[in-house]
Chain A
Amino acid sequence: MSSSTPIRQRLMTMILGTSGVVLLVTCAGFLSYEFLTFRQTAIRQLATLGEIVAANSTAALAFDNEDDATEILAAVKAERHIVAACLYDRMGRLFSRYPATAPAGGFQAAPGRDGYRFVGGYLEGFVPVVQVRGSQRLGTLYLRSDMGAMYERLRLYGGIALIVVGISSLAAYILSRQLQQQISRPILALVETATAVSEQGNYSVRARKLGEDELGVLTDAFNHMLERIQAQNLALQQAYDDLRQTQQTIMQQERLRAVGQMASGIAHDINNAISPAFILVESLLEREPALSHRTREYLGMVQRAIEDVAQTVSRLREFYRQREPQLTLAPVSLNQVAEQVADLTRARWGDMSLQRGVVISLKRELAPVLPVIMGVDSEIREALINLIFNAIDAMPEGGVITLRTRVEPGARAPAEAAAAGRVVIEVSDTGVGMDAETARRCLEPFFTTKGERGTGLGLAMVYGTVQRHGALIEIESAVGRGTTLRLLFPLPPAVVQPLAEAVELPPRAAPLQLLLVDDDPALLASLRQTLADDGHEVFAAAGGRAGLAAFHAARTEGRPFNAVLTDLGMPEVDGFRLAAAVKAASPETPVFLLTGWGQGVAPEGDAPACVDRVLNKPPRLRELREVLNLVRPRRS
């Protein structure tokens, strides 16, 4: 029985082997006993017969009666296995024989030694014939017994033993088939379960318990172990999921933070970069009445573009600041915004597409009469620009972009239709369209179909703008059938003032002696020029250290500055340190902080005590005049 034999077979073999060996040993013992006692029994039986015959033969021998002796001997024929018998007289001569017809030559001429012995297949015996009361031997009886019959009986016993062993083995087989299951079934059930667990990794299966014995205890322990493994697996999976979710959240936040930091840095640089342009354009429009109408119109467009840049840059920060900026809503004409957007994006859908050999046309379907809405025009403009850029990207083979505005009346009574209705502006393209999954997810931040070219922020920004305006966004798209993005703005509750074309600038402040500090030479030059144009005496310092030196020098000379305008981010001595030093020396001197970091870095409320006012870059002439109007000139 090898070690790989199934346990069922082993148990069977053990049971059958044991019972078989026991039976064989028993039968062998029985047969050995039979064989040994069989000879003794044969001798005893023959001896008994011999005694009887001898006792009966005494008189026949004593009185020499042969007939009587023959008659007595004939009685042994009742014993089938006695094949021969004879009597010898006291002289040792053959006296009579059995069978009576047997030839005298078949017998020994004289009696042998008294006693019984096995000769060949026969048992022979010589029995003395003695009369009980007498002491004289009267003769000798000879008996010969055929052992063949006896051996035959022994063989019969052997056959019976074999049959008994066979039947017993069969019975043992049938019984053990049933009984061995009591042990093998729980073990096999355990094996089955263990196999299922190890092969499928399924820890929810349980072994069937089939009894309360040791195997039952084993099954319980096994199941308990599985339960613990399952529970631990679950806990592990839970922990893993949590960890993964946390990791994703952290990654998302990290990404946002990185984008935010990057955006902040970009915002700073852009604000600094556009500040001179803005100041100069504003200055031109303000101070050069001789400009041609065409020049004035173009300069206005440039000014709007620069304002949009500034607004865009400021909103970039929102992604990581996640702070709802305070909106200053103003009446906005969507028709006007649509026209502006068409002009601003012309380069992209017009010239750039043509260079790639693709024809994209932009169609305007604007409602002739459209109510104004309350909103931030730069945000709305930027959102529409985003939508148009997306439309261009969706049409690599060219197509038509349609800009459409209309009033969508509400479902209420006609009198209240305006109040319940919405002003709609939509951008349609004839491009590749989106499938349902893409349409569903396209507003999510960082979701993009443009691969490396896209940031996944465009539509998210649009969505943010829409939400801030209390508007709705609708997306209609099907693969291969283009996309329509629709923004639905609520109508303002009251009648809105018509859009003021131009805001009057505040008057020039009284001439002041100003200290201007900035590490950007271009900004320094343009701002200095603008302020000088307003009649102020401006000392420009190209850094915090130089500014502080100039400030102290002026005080020493007895001609202190009326106010200090300083950039925030500068090497060595930054805006805050400069402001603190100025306030320490002369607390009454106003300090205005110009920052390209925008509200993000030094928001209004967070301004340190040493700063009187924070101005965002690019600085607007109006703001400058407003703050400078507050400054009281020391000497006039």
Chain B
Amino acid sequence: MALLSPARGLRCRRLARWFAGALLGLALTAAAAAATPSIEYQIKAVFLFNFAQFVEWPPSAFRDARSPLVIGVVGEDPFGNYLDEAVRGERIGDRPLVVRRYHRGDDLTGCHILFISRSEDSAVASILASLRGRSILTVGEADGFIREGGILRFITENHKIRLRINVEAARAVGLTISSKLLRPATITTADNDRD
């Protein structure tokens, strides 16, 4: 929903596109109403986008300087089209942002941020294993996500979404996480991560 996008609330230069979005919205009103995610996932969608701003990938992770930064969602998508709305038109440097959705078994190596949906809780270990060594910021919600080799996990504490990061794992695959991101997050390792 273009009108509801918090990321666009203050952007006047988007007015032209607002009309286009509004027309599209009218056409898809029924389908869109069914796809509206919960507040929690709205926030998480923004968080996924924000990660792109606080993490640096090695140049080898991109084909060239202008190739897009891909946010992938594997499994059942909880964001609806909210994630697409959040990243639409946004850039990280020269790179546009692209959202891709995967199913279990798909080749996941083309993405840079991979959200592993709750629907894939049972396959987390195998998914992570298939991505071992790749410069992909893996984000998950499962309890043993860090222990199984994931880098970043959403945790809900006192109705607040908190982050838990395995800095070693990130460093191991060549990702540089901004110290600023580490401030609001909890740093952990695969060995002593708790649920």
Find A90's partner among B6, B53, B160, B185 (CB 8 Å cutoff). Answer: B6
What residues of B have a CB within 8 angstroms of the CB of A135 in the complex? Answer: 90-92
What residues of B have a CB within 8 angstroms of the CB of A134 in the complex? Answer: 50, 52-53, 90, 92
Q: A64 to B39, alpha carbons, bound, how many Å? A: 13
Q: How far is the CB of A273 from chain B (nearest CB, A)?
A: 160
Type the 1/0 row for A111-137, where 1 means its CB is closer than 8 Å to any CB of B.
000000000000000000001011111
Type the 1/0 row for B135-169, where 1 means its CB is closer than 8 Å to any CB of A.
00000000000000000000000001111000000
Q: A597 to B148, alpha carbons, bound, how many Å? A: 181
Q: At the interface, yes or no: B54 with Cβ under 8 Å from chain A? A: yes
Q: Which residue of B lies closest to A138 (CB)?
A: B50
If A59-B54, A59-B183, A64-B43 touch, does A91 touch B6 (CB 8 Å cutoff)?
yes
If A91-B9, A134-B92, A135-B90 touch, does A63 touch B53 (CB 8 Å cutoff)?
no
How many interface residues does chain A have, given as a range? 20 to 34
A58 with B6: CB separation less than 8 A: no
Type the 1/0 row for B40-67, where 1 means its CB is closer than 8 Å to any CB of A.
0001000101101110100000000000
Q: How far is the CB of A312 from chain B (nearest CB, A)?
A: 155
A65 with B7: CB separation less than 8 A: no
A131 with B54: CB separation less than 8 A: yes
B184 with A59: CB separation less than 8 A: yes
B7 with A62: CB separation less than 8 A: no
A133 with B184: CB separation less than 8 A: no
Q: A60 to B90, alpha carbons, bound, how many Å? A: 20
What residues of A have a CB within 8 angstroms of the CB of B161 in the complex? Answer: 63-64
Q: At the interface, yes or no: A56 with Cβ under 8 Å from chain B? A: yes
A63 with B163: CB separation less than 8 A: yes
What residues of B have a CB within 8 angstroms of the CB of A136 in the complex? Answer: 7, 49, 53, 90
Q: At the interface, yes or no: B20 with Cβ under 8 Å from chain A? A: no
What residues of B have a CB within 8 angstroms of the CB of A91 in the complex? Answer: 6, 9
Type the 1/0 row for A490-501, where 1 means its CB is closer than 8 Å to any CB of B.
000000000000
Q: A296 to B102, alpha carbons, bound, how many Å? A: 205
A64 with B160: CB separation less than 8 A: yes
Q: At the interface, yes or no: B10 with Cβ under 8 Å from chain A? A: yes
A58 with B180: CB separation less than 8 A: yes
Looking at A72, A135, A136, which has the most chain B CB atoms within 10 Å of its CB?
A136
What residues of A have a CB within 8 angstroms of the CB of B2 in the complex? Answer: none
Q: How far is the CB of A175 from chain B (nearest CB, A)?
A: 62
Q: A131 to B43, alpha carbons, bound, how many Å? A: 18
Q: A62 to B184, alpha carbons, bound, how many Å? A: 9
B184 with A60: CB separation less than 8 A: yes
What residues of A have a CB within 8 angstroms of the CB of B184 in the complex? Answer: 59-60, 63, 65, 68
Find B180's partner among A59, A90, A137 (CB 8 Å cutoff). Answer: A59
What residues of B have a CB within 8 angstroms of the CB of A62 in the complex? Answer: 47, 50, 53-54, 181
Q: Which residue of A lies closest to B87 (CB)?
A: A136
Q: How far is the CB of B165 from chain A (nearest CB, A)?
A: 11
Q: A56 to B53, alpha carbons, bound, how many Å? A: 14
What residues of A have a CB within 8 angstroms of the CB of B43 in the complex? Answer: 64
Q: How far is the CB of B83 from chain A (nearest CB, A)?
A: 14
A133 with B92: CB separation less than 8 A: yes
If A56-B180, A63-B163 touch, does A137 touch B10 (CB 8 Å cutoff)?
yes
What residues of B have a CB within 8 angstroms of the CB of A131 in the complex? Answer: 50, 53-54, 180
Q: At the interface, yes or no: B38 with Cβ under 8 Å from chain A? A: no
What residues of A have a CB within 8 angstroms of the CB of B90 in the complex? Answer: 134-136
Q: How far is the CB of A169 from chain B (nearest CB, A)?
A: 57
A59 with B178: CB separation less than 8 A: yes
Find B181's partner among A63, A72, A90, A138 (CB 8 Å cutoff). Answer: A63
Type the 1/0 row for B181-193, where 1 means its CB is closer than 8 Å to any CB of A.
1111100000000
Q: A91 to B91, alpha carbons, bound, how many Å? A: 20
Q: A92 to B180, alpha carbons, bound, how many Å? A: 22
What residues of A have a CB within 8 angstroms of the CB of B178 in the complex? Answer: 59
Q: Which residue of A lies closest to B160 (CB)?
A: A64
What residues of A have a CB within 8 angstroms of the CB of B183 in the complex? Answer: 56, 59-60, 65, 68, 72
Type the 1/0 row for A381-423, where 1 means its CB is closer than 8 Å to any CB of B.
0000000000000000000000000000000000000000000
Q: How far is the CB of B136 from chain A (nearest CB, A)?
A: 18
Q: A55 to B179, alpha carbons, bound, how many Å? A: 12
Q: Which residue of B lies closest to A68 (CB)?
A: B184
Q: How far is the CB of B62 from chain A (nearest CB, A)?
A: 14
What residues of B have a CB within 8 angstroms of the CB of A137 in the complex? Answer: 10
Q: Which residue of A lies closest to B10 (CB)?
A: A137
Q: How far is the CB of B43 from chain A (nearest CB, A)?
A: 7
Q: How far is the CB of A157 from chain B (nearest CB, A)?
A: 40
Type the 1/0 row for A540-563, where 1 means its CB is closer than 8 Å to any CB of B.
000000000000000000000000
Q: How far is the CB of A413 from chain B (nearest CB, A)?
A: 156
What residues of B have a CB within 8 angstroms of the CB of A58 in the complex? Answer: 53-54, 180
B93 with A133: CB separation less than 8 A: yes
Q: Which residue of A lies closest to B47 (CB)?
A: A63
What residues of B have a CB within 8 angstroms of the CB of A68 in the complex? Answer: 183-184
What residues of A have a CB within 8 angstroms of the CB of B6 in the complex? Answer: 90-91
17 chain-A/chain-B pairs, Cβ below 8 angstroms:
A55-B180, A56-B180, A58-B54, A59-B182, A59-B184, A60-B184, A63-B50, A63-B184, A64-B160, A68-B183, A68-B184, A131-B50, A134-B53, A135-B90, A136-B7, A136-B49, A136-B90
| Nearest 10 interchain pairs by C-beta | A65-B184, A134-B53, A59-B180, A62-B50, A131-B53, A68-B184, A63-B184, A59-B181, A133-B53, A59-B184
Contacts A64-B43, A134-B53 known; 10 new A-B pairs at CB < 8 A: A55-B180, A56-B180, A60-B184, A62-B47, A63-B184, A64-B161, A65-B183, A90-B10, A91-B6, A131-B50
